[in-house]
Amino acid sequence: MQHINYTFSSAFSWDSFSECPEYLQEQGQSVGCKIPLDATQRFQPFRTKLYVGGYQTICKNYTDLKQRVKLNPPSILSVNSSAREGEVCVRWIGSKIKKNCVNYTVAYRKASGPWKISIPVMSSSYCVSPVASGVLYTFQVRSSMSDMCGASDFWSDWSDPVQWSNNKDVMTAEQPQVYWHVLGSVLGVIVLICLSLLLYYSERIRVVFVPVVPDPSKSLQDLFKKYNGNVESWVYINRELKDAFETDFTESPPCVVCEAGPTFETKTEDGPVEQPVS
């Protein structure tokens, strides 16, 4: 199979042509071109050239770009039972364009049956009734510009499907993000409450087991003013304990001890005799 190179160029109004700055890829092949758009160019004529293999050129002009607008598909679909018996409603988040400028159509089917497509609506919800009990329903939504803001020839791609059965939502690829966000918020609140309780009880333990040192000035005032500095009366010692420290003997007068003085010897017939020195 011969490989052919394609080159796309475009221009607004009567500006000079410029090559595509960014090609859109699908499965490794270029299928479109992403062109930066100025707000003032939205309603200007648009001219295109497609060069095929360097030897053929296909030209096409678009006088009204409003008819070529293709929106993004709606997102975050959810299905819930309504207040009416036997009725379910599908809701979604659409484009940020003004509410009356966008039409939506809803496609739904029972189990593997044929698809049914609703008439265009401008609201972001659609209800189906009656619904059979125990049957699996599948919903998809697409969007397009309405006639009020310049109708478009294109509808967006279909949204990711969402399923419903027995009054219970079946999550699609888009819905887990919402559920995880809600679950994360709830867990964050629980953790915050637990940390607050832990901090509260730790403060109570600190106050009970590590009490603040009391101010001794008040007690010392009683010692000097009320008890005149008598520590025993101020402390209040038990009578039995106080008696145990009392002495149980009498002291005798002190004994004076003097050191003996030097002596002189006198010679006699019988031998020396000590005589005290007077």
Q: Which residue has the higher pLDDT, 278 or 59?
A: 59
Residue 268 counted as domain residue: no
Q: What CATH number should be reported for the domain holding residue 39?
A: 2.60.40.10
In 24-57, which positions are buried (b, 16+ CB within 10 angstroms) versus exposed (e)?
Answer: eeeeeeeeebebeeeeeeeebebbbebeeeeeee
Residue 278 counted as domain residue: no
Which of 173, 193, 223 represents a domain boundary (last residue)? 173
Q: Could you tell me if 211 and 205 are in contact, meaning their C-beta atoms sit under 8 angstroms apart?
A: no
Which of 122, 147, 173 represents a domain boundary (last residue)? 173
End-to-end CA, the chain: 156
Q: Which residue has the higher pLDDT, 242 or 144?
A: 144
Q: Could you tell me if 264 and 277 are in contact, meaning their C-beta atoms sit under 8 angstroms apart?
A: yes
pTM, two decimals, is: 0.51
Count of structural domains within the chain: 2
Confidence at 82, pLDDT banded by 50, 70, 90? confident
Between CA 275 and CA 278 the distance in angstroms is 9
Q: Could you tell me if 79 and 162 are in contact, meaning their C-beta atoms sit under 8 angstroms apart?
A: yes
Q: Please indicate, yes or no, whether residues 87 and 52 belong to a single structural domain of this protein.
A: no
Q: Can you tell me the mean pLDDT for 27-49?
A: 84
Helix (H) or strand (E) holding 208: helix 175-209
Six token digits for residue 268: 């006699």
| pLDDT (tens digit per residue) in 211-268 | 556 666 666 666 666 766 666 666 666 566 566 666 665 666 666 666 665 554 444 4
Q: How much is the pLDDT for 174?
A: 45
Residue 211 counted as domain residue: no
Residue 96 counted as domain residue: yes
In percent, how much of the chain has pLDDT > 70?
Answer: 67
Residue 122 counted as domain residue: yes
Q: Could you tell me if 99 and 90 are in contact, meaning their C-beta atoms sit under 8 angstroms apart?
A: no
Confidence at 278, pLDDT banded by 50, 70, 90? very low
Q: Please indicate, yes or no, whether residues 163 and 132 belong to a single structural domain of this protein.
A: yes
Question: CA 75: distance to chain centroid?
Answer: 23
Residue 199 counted as domain residue: no
Positive or negative CA dihedral for 79, 81, 86, 92? negative
Q: Can you tell me the mean pLDDT for 38-63?
A: 84
Say if residue 81's pLDDT is above 90: no
In 65-82, which positions are buried (b, 16+ CB within 10 angstroms) versus exposed (e)?
Answer: beeebebebbebbbbebe
Q: Please indicate, yes or no, whether residues 45 and 102 belong to a single structural domain of this protein.
A: no
What's the domain range around 36?
6-63
Q: Please indicate, yes or no, whether residues 140 and 106 belong to a single structural domain of this protein.
A: yes
User: Half-sphere exposure of 24 toward its Cβ, with a 13 Å CA cutoff?
Assistant: 5
Q: Please indicate, yes or no, whether residues 84 and 157 belong to a single structural domain of this protein.
A: yes
Residue 223 counted as domain residue: no
Question: CA 267: distance to chain centroid?
Answer: 122
Q: How much is the pLDDT for 106?
A: 95
Between CA 192 and CA 204 the distance in angstroms is 19
Could you give the 3-state DSSP secondary structure of residue 224? helix
Q: Can you tell me the mean pLDDT for 77-96?
A: 87
Q: Please indicate, yes or no, whether residues 86 and 164 belong to a single structural domain of this protein.
A: yes
Contacts of 188 (CB under 8 A, 6+ apart): none
Q: Please indicate, yes or no, whether residues 79 and 131 belong to a single structural domain of this protein.
A: yes
Which of 121, 148, 173 represents a domain boundary (last residue)? 173
Kindly report which listed range (3-17, 21-35, 255-269) carries the lowest average pLDDT score.
Answer: 255-269
Q: How much is the pLDDT for 222?
A: 67
Could you give the 3-state DSSP secondary structure of residue 103? strand
Q: Please indicate, yes or no, whether residues 130 and 107 belong to a single structural domain of this protein.
A: yes
Residue 12 counted as domain residue: yes
In Å, the largest CA–CA distance within the chain is 173
